[in-house]
Chains A and B, each alone.
Chain A
Amino acid sequence: MDIIKSFENLNPYEYVASIKKATGKSVLAYMCSYTPEEVIYAAGIHPFRIFGMVDAIAKADAYLQVYSCSLVRGALEDALSGKLSFVDGAVFPHTCDSIQRLSDVWRLNAGMKHHFDVVWAVKLNTDSAKKYMYDVLAKFVKELQDAFGITITNEKLEKAVSTYNEIRSLLKTIWQLKSDNKSTLNGSQMNALIKAAMVWDRDELAGMLKNLIPSIELSPKNEKAKRIMLIGGICNHPDIYTYIEDSGGVVVWDDLCTGSRYFEGQIATDSNPLQAIANRYYERNICPAKHRDLNTRVETITSMIREHNVQGAIFLYLKFCDPHSFDYPYIKEALDTMGIPSTLLELELQLPSEGQMKTRLEAFIDMI
C-alpha cells in the first residue's frame, strides 16, 4: 500500500518541479482531459494536469469575473501567484467557453515561455470533423517540434500509444475491481490515484499500477453499501467520497474527467499512431462541451448504470460549469425513468461544512 500512500501524499507542483530538476525534462501544464498527452509524452516533455487547488482567489479576480468556475479561476491564481514558475508552458484544448477565454487571459498574463491551443472540433460525428481532428493534432506536433527543437518520430508516438494504453487499461482494471467489490481501496484513494495518474512520471506509473493491483485485490466481499455513480466534470474533493462512505454509500463508477472519461477508450495499434491518437479523442466518451448526437451522454450513462448495478447517482458539478448544467435536466429525467434516484451537488472552491454535506448525503442515500 506504499504506492497508494505516495499518491495520496503527492504535492503535484513539488513533484513535477522535482522531475524537472532531476531529469532536465521540460514540463507542460494542461487544463482538461481533452489534452492529447500522448504527443507531449512522445516529445519527451512531462505533461501534468492543473486541478485549481487554491483555497482562496486573490490575484485572479483582477482577470476573471467571479462567475467563472473555480477550476479556471484557481488555475489562473496558481499561475499568477508564481506557483507554476517551474513550468515551461501550458496547453489549452478547446472545450468550454471558460477554458477558451482562460487561454487568452493566460497567454497575455501568465508570462510562460510556451503556449499551445489545441482547437479540436466540437461536433464529433462527421468525417470532416474526424479529418480536422487529425489536422489539429498534426499541427500541435509541429508546434511542439518547433518550440522545443525536437523531432517526434513514429517510434516515439508508438511508444506513447503503448504506454498510455497500458496506463488506461490498468486504471480501468482498478475501477472494475472497485465495481466488483474486490478492492481494498476507498473512494478518496481512488480519487488520489486518478489525479496522480495525470501528474506522475508516466513510465514509472505503469509499473506502479501493475504492482498495485495484486496488493489491493480481494476475493469479492459482501458489500451492503448503496452503489453510487458520480456524474460531472473534475472532482478535486477526495472528502466527498469519504462522506458518501460514511453515509452508507460507495462510489462504484463515474462519468467524470477525473475518472472514466480519462481512461476509457484505447488507442488503436494497427494504424498510423498519430491518426490513431486523433481517433481516440474523436471517439472517446464525450464531455458535454462536445457533441456526438442528441442522446449520446444519456446512452453512455444509462449503460454504465446497468453494467455496474448503480442504485443512485450524484451529479457533481462545479458552480458556473455551463455544459454540465445544461445536460442536467435531461440526464436526470432519464435516470428518473429508470427509477434511479439522483441528487445534485454544486461545488465551489471549498466544500460546504462536513456536517452540511453529511446531512444531505445521508438523506439522499437513506432514500435509495
Chain B
Amino acid sequence: MSGEMQDKKDNRIKSVKRMKEIMTNYYIDAKTAAQNNKKVGWITSGGPVEPLLVMDVIPVYPENHGAMIGASKMGVQLCEKSEEMGYCRDLCSYARSDIAAAPINGGPIGGLPRPDFLICCNNICGTVLKWYEVQARYFNVPLFIFDTPFCHKEITQEAKDYVGAQIVEYITFLEEHCGKKFDYDKAKEVGKLSIQGQRLWQAVLDTTMHKPAPMSAFDAFFHLALIVTLRGTQIAVDYYTELLQEMKERNAHGISAIPNEKYRLLWDNLPVWYKTKWLSETFASHDACLVADTYTTAWCRQLDYLDENDFLKSMIEGYTAIYLNIGVDQMADAVIGMVDKYDVDGLVMHSNRSCKPYSLGQYDIQRIVQKKRNIPSLIIEADMLDERNFSESQILTRIEAFMEIIKNKRK
C-alpha cells in the first residue's frame, strides 16, 4: 500500500488498545495498593526501578502523571494552581502540576496513589530533587536520593564507587521500609526482564529505519509508557513482543505512519504533550514523518552497560551515564548517530522551558550536527505541558519555512 492512499482506519496501530488496558490496570493496582497490602514507591523516570519490583513495591511515576496531565490538556489549570501556592511560573511544569494535583486529587486520574516512600534519582535533572523534597514534606514520607554524578566527559572511578555504595544503601532503605529481606535471586529475574524489555523497545524503535516508517515519534511517545512504568516485568516484555510483531507486519505490508512519507525528521527533547496531534498532522501535511527521537530512546540507550549476569552492579553505569547526564558534545554525537541510523533529512528541536538539562546546549548540538551532517534544523520554543508557552501561529510559520528548506534541498 506504500505510496497509495491508505485508509486512515487501517493505518492505526492495533496495539494501542492493549496498551490502554495495561495502563488502566496498572493505575487501578497502584490506586488500590493499600487495600492489597502493597507498598507504593514514587520514582523518577530515569530511576533504578528494578529493586522496587524485587520488593513487590508498586512503582508510580509522577513524570508519567505529568505526561497524562499534558495530554489531557489539564496542564494550564494545574500550573496556575501551583502559582497560587507560590511556585514560580518558570519552574518545570511537570513538577508544578504534580505538586498542585496532590492536595486536590487533581488531574485526569484523580491524583496519584499516596506514596509510602519516594525514590529520587537525579540523573535526569536537579529539578526532581526539589520536586521530591516538596512531596516528601507534603506526604511526610521517607525520601531516598540516588545521586548520580554528572558525567561531563566520562563516568569517573570516584563516581562509580559512590553510586556503587548507594546501590547497597538503596537496598537497605527498601528492606527497612518494606520490612523484609531483599531477594537477590528475584533481582536476577527482574534484571533479565528489564534488559529483555529494553532490547524489545529498542527493536520496536529500530523498525522505523524502514522507509516508510511504520510508526512515528508521536507513536513512540505513547508506547513508551510501559518501558518507563513496567520495565522489569513480564507484562512489558509481552507487550513489546506484540508491538514489535505488529511493526514488522506493517513494514512487510508497507503500512506507514503517515500516508505519503517523503521526508524523514528527528525530534529532540520531550514531547509537547498537548500538541502532539497538531504537530504530527502539520508535519504530515508536508509529507514529513518524525521517524525517531532522542527522548524515547533514553529507556534503552543503556543496554551496552547493563549486564544480565550482574544486573545490580551494572546499574552503576546503566543509571549514571544516561543521555541527560552527559556532556553536550556526547549528546551531539548521539544525535548524529541517530541522524545516520534513521537517515533523516532534518532535525526538529523542542526548546523546552521546563527542562534545562535537555534544552540548554541545544544550540551547540544544532551547530555540531549542521557542521558534521549539513542537515537543516528547526527550534520550536515551547513547553512540554504549559500551553501558555506555545504560540501556534508562530510555530506554524517556522515549520513551513523549515519544510521549504528541506524540500528545496531535495530538488
Contact = CB atoms under 8 A, between A and B. Distances in A.
Nearest to A126: B169
A343 B86 CA distance: 12
B162 A101 contact: no
Interface stretch (B132-140, B208-216, B403-411): B132-140
Contacts of A294: 133, 136-137, 143
A323 interface: yes
A104 B165 CA distance: 27
B281 interface: no
Given A97-B357, A131-B162, A119 B147 contact: no
A94 interface: yes
Contact of A68 (B88, B161, B356): B356
Contact of B126 (A97, A107, A119, A139): A97
Contacts of B134: 326, 330
A274 to B, nearest CB: 14
Interface residues of B, number: 47
Contacts of A103: 152
Nearest to A61: B363
Nearest to B140: A294
Contacts of B122: 122
B106 interface: no
Interface in B125-156: 125-127, 129-131, 133-134, 136-137, 143, 145, 147, 149-150, 152-153, 156
Given A294-B137, A326-B87, A119 B130 contact: no
Contacts of A135: 158, 161-162
B406 to A, nearest CB: 23
B125 A101 contact: no
Contacts of B133: 291, 294, 326
Interface in B96-146: 122, 125-127, 129-131, 133-134, 136-137, 143, 145
Given A97-B127, A128-B165, A291 B86 contact: no
Contacts of A364: none
Given A104-B329, A121-B147, A139-B156, A97 B125 contact: yes
Contacts of B153: 117
A160 B257 CA distance: 64
B129 A104 contact: no
B194 interface: no
Interface in B304-335: 327-329
A186 interface: no
A272 interface: no
A105 B126 contact: no
Contact of B130 (A128, A136, A326): A326
Interface in B350-395: 351, 353, 356-357, 359-364
A121 B158 CA distance: 11
A320 interface: yes
A109 B360 CA distance: 14
A329 B86 contact: yes
Nearest to A346: B88
B152 A328 contact: no
A329 B130 contact: no
Interface in B52-95: 85-88, 90-92, 95
B248 to A, nearest CB: 39
Task: Give 9 nearest A-B pairs by CB, closest first.
Answer: A329-B86, A326-B130, A128-B165, A101-B360, A132-B162, A104-B328, A135-B158, A325-B88, A97-B356
12 contacts: A63-B364, A64-B363, A65-B362, A67-B356, A68-B356, A100-B150, A119-B152, A119-B159, A294-B136, A319-B90, A322-B91, A328-B86
Interface of B: 85-88, 90-92, 95, 122, 125-127, 129-131, 133-134, 136-137, 143, 145, 147, 149-150, 152-153, 156, 158-159, 161-162, 165-166, 169, 327-329, 351, 353, 356-357, 359-364
Given A135-B162, A325-B88, 18 more contacts: A65-B351, A67-B359, A68-B356, A68-B360, A94-B150, A97-B356, A101-B361, A104-B329, A104-B364, A108-B329, A109-B364, A122-B147, A132-B149, A136-B158, A294-B143, A322-B92, A329-B87, A330-B137
Interface of A: 62-65, 67-68, 94, 96-98, 100-105, 107-109, 117, 119, 121-123, 126, 128-129, 131-132, 135-136, 139, 288-289, 291, 294-295, 319-320, 322-323, 325-330, 332, 346
